[in-house]
Amino acid sequence: MTAPSIRPAYVTWPTLNRRLRDVVAGLTEAQLALRPSPDRWPLWATVGHLACQRVFWLCDFAGEPGADTTPFTNAGYDCPGDDDLEHVLGAEALAGALDSTFRIVERCLDGWTLAMLEEGLRREDWDESWVHTRGAVIQRVFSHDVYHCAELNETLGAAGLAQIDPWD
């Protein structure tokens, strides 16, 4: 008998991703350039960063396959916002990035089990202080998505635009 996956613990995540994707896909270039404040990233960079960090944590760190199916094949060193504010991403590219990176999340939700969440993960070529459990990694990615969706909603709401509603 196969152990059950962790998907039931993250039942709202696919809905949050779909609604994030739908809102982002409908934004204009000018709307994607909005910033919550002058010292923070434009919306396009925040969304790109959110998607890229999924690849960093799940593929680069946790060793899951799929980075090559996303725009972020070098997520540890080349993410929008963190490393790149020059290459502006439009709504279509961002929607595609959210879709491709969420397929990696979906595989983890379906393939990881409760017993696997206690496993310590560390990359051999990285600093020894970078040890996290598989459970901490998936929680980090989920929390990161929620954090940035709230940040996006702050800016979207201030501009009178439709917000990401995970509860509707």
Domains of the chain: 7-158 (1.20.120.450)
Determine the pLDDT at residue 168. 65
DSSP string of the chain, one letter each residue: -PPPBSGGGGTTHHHHHHHHHHHHHT--HHHHT--SSTTS--HHHHHHHHHHHHHIIIIIIT--S-GGGSS-TTTTT--BTTTBSSS---HHHHHHHHHHHHHHHHHHHHH-BTGGGG-EE--TTS-TT--EEHHHHHHHHHHHHHHHHHHHHHHHHHTTPPP--S--
| Average pLDDT of the segment spanning 135-144 | 97
Q: What is the pTM of this model?
A: 0.94
For residue range 19-48, what is the model confidence (pLDDT) as tens digits?
999 999 999 999 999 999 999 999 999 999
| Average pLDDT of the segment spanning 128-152 | 93
For residue range 77-96, what is the model confidence (pLDDT) as tens digits?
889 888 888 899 999 999 99
Kindly tell me if the per-residue pLDDT of 129 is higher than 80. Answer: no
